[in-house]
Amino acid sequence: MNIAVVAPSCTLSREAAERLEVLVHDRGDCEVAIHPQCFLSDGHFAGTDEQRLGALREVMADASVDSVWFARGGYGSNRIAEAAVRDLPDAARSKLYLGYSDAGFLHAGFHKAGLNVAWGPMPQDLRRDGGKAAVTRALDWMVKRDPSALEPDLGQPAMAFNLTVLAALLGTVLEPDFTGVDLLIEDVSEHHYRIDRTMFHVTANPNVRRVSRLRLGRVGDIPENDPDFGRDELAIVQEWCARSGIPFGGRADIGHDVLNRVVPFTKEN
């Protein structure tokens, strides 16, 4: 089981990379190659668009790689997502792509292109208190498809997105078909008024309105709304589901935290 780590968004911390190497060594059931591109820096990003795309395309085309693991989120994968799925080599189709948060741009475009993607913890989570459990969960899925890593109530098909990332990819070439999808959303560091505005945007979309249900993961680190917004994120999501006719399916076990679970977009045979 060979896993390649690349960073299509922001730079991976050396500390997280070192912890990952220890963790993988102790497990002894997989090989994890952290691409040197993960440590590049170009302003906000882990290298220029060309460097990030180059590393991603390289591991996608490598037939010896079983899983491509996105090092961390932040922002930037949208800038290379369309180019990443152009003229796909066969080897790109036989592997799993795993990550969350900003990686949602890749998840959307890759899933649309027929690739096998999953939402799940990333190496940078090792910087969180208790992050080892999260990263172990991702490895358990990549290495042995351990069902205990999964979000426990997944319909088929299922998709998971950061709400703000989902909003930003609607209307772009990355937008996947949401028909019949069990759609899980979560968010982090967004004010309640922004969550309300983004839910207005997302639930207005005719494609999104074709989901089988929408479920709300955790919304973390919400900055203080001035004045108090007057309702919480659960009430906000329920209201926009009701206004748009989307069935609200309750809570989901995902989020920007160490309890974040795995959500495969495609059921594997």
Minimum CB separation of residue 10 from a copy of itself in Å reads: 9
Taking alpha carbons only, the member of 101, 124, 129, 120 closest to residue 16 is: 124
Minimum CB separation of residue 223 from a copy of itself in Å reads: 11
- Stretch in the footprint of a copy of itself (CB under 8 A) among 13-21, 108-116, 132-140, 226-234: 226-234
Number of residues lying near a copy of itself (CB under 8 A): 32
Q: Which two tokens mark 223?
A: 């900055």
The binder of a copy of itself chosen from 26, 87, 90, 228 (CB under 8 A): 228
Q: Does 193 bind a copy of itself (CB under 8 A)?
A: yes
- Stretch in the footprint of a copy of itself (CB under 8 A) among 12-20, 87-95, 115-123, 225-233: 225-233
- Indicate if the alpha-carbon torsion angle 206, 211, 214, 220 is positive or negative: negative
Are the C-beta atoms of residues 27 and 89 closer than 8 Å to each other? no
**42 DSSP 8-state letter:** B
Cα–Cα dist 194/190, whole Å: 6
The binder of a copy of itself chosen from 229, 246, 253, 265 (CB under 8 A): 229
Q: Does 100 bind a copy of itself (CB under 8 A)?
A: no
Q: How many Cβ atoms from other residues are within 10 Å of residue 178's Cβ? A: 20
Q: Which of residues 122-151 bind a copy of itself (CB under 8 A)?
A: none
133 or 234, CB closer to a copy of itself? 234
Are the C-beta atoms of residues 244 and 209 closer than 8 Å to each other? yes
Dihedral over alpha carbons 54, 57, 59, 64 (to 10 degrees): -140
- Using CB under 8 A as the criterion, which residues of the chain lie in contact with a copy of itself when the complex forms? 41-45, 74-76, 78-79, 167-173, 192-193, 196-198, 200-201, 204-205, 225, 227-231
